Structure 1
């Protein structure tokens, strides 16, 4: 079993650089793939209240047979539960559904700026961290102006910003901001929700290394220092996505992938305009 590199966060905690995501996996189907992932060697599991599968993830944690202290469990706050008191109550619900005493990381899932509660929510996260219910606190889908707002309001930087990032949407314009602030980028939809898997350039690089296209893209994330959380429900793919530590992309590979960035490469919602409460 490969040793997954760890990333040290700005709060001193460490997170495995490669994790396992469970977006769009129903609660009654999520336990088996998470158990498979943990037995494969994944130690970081990423879920969310909005995925409605925290109970199934919690069951997998108990069934996998790995000590709790060896796992890094992340969840995210529903947008409708933003606000100081709401967020604290909602966190307790997540801990109950997962069957845990604490989370390794909790994220504000979306800023929903129209509702203007993300700063007050961040204050609740800071308190919950002080109370020992969360080890690391972070955000997801936050634009630079939202990061600046919560840091200026409360003086505490997120450990992580989880954002859509893949070869077709490389987010170069915000990487320097995160480096300057000391906030680590965690890539979701790291394979472009599958869209990039059929890319000819990715296919050529995969053939060159004797690897699968998904393995090439995961390796691309790792070599740039991103935290990456691919998702699959298929046991063979779960194991394949973990087998990314025995090779390296060379500079020519990295240069070719850099050219795949597209102005229209984003697949998910725009954080500035997504104000849906869920």
Structure 2
């Protein structure tokens, strides 16, 4: 079986981020033409330039995944320069402090606690809505725009980005955990809905990857682990954080004909975190 993607056009949203950058480079290394979409076009351009410097073909497109007109403009540019979309990676997503609690557990005295402690009862609905929109609507809209290219064609795939939070919700981040659970469910729904059209739909569920976005949550200024970082590693059977390259094997398998009979799966890439009961 080959992971070869020669002639395929791959579109990746959130492509300027650390994990999605690695995915974009991996797709290009297998011969795919890559459209790197990001809200910050300069970040997308850095990734596209890196691909072209290595002999691949890529374009950078500024795009807001929550605005249909922005997505349509991006689709037009991709179709004109690279051809119809064969592979869509819905990589845009993230969390927001307004959808996060201060502590892992609610204690009886917390309701009268000092100002600055945010409990479940203090969560901002607008912050939670932002997280759900960014992760769920930010995957639904690009799929509506780009998957039309795929209908009736062979070898087309959609890859959503779930999380091991969808298997085991993390403390403090109810909005993000709920949004990623929605992505897992949506992946299965889409897989069934598109099954007769030649489109396969699957998802990656990354565990803990040490990136700039979460570095301060997992490590101290001197590089040692925070309490939360220690808890995570103690519940990760492989005893390490993931690296961006840990995603690429599964990504290429799901995008290529090597997984031609696989659809509707959510694959944890988490060092065993979602499998471990804690004892």
Q: TM-score, normalised by structure 1?
A: 0.33
Larger radius of gyration between Structure 1 and Structure 2: 2
Q: TM-score, normalised by structure 2?
A: 0.33
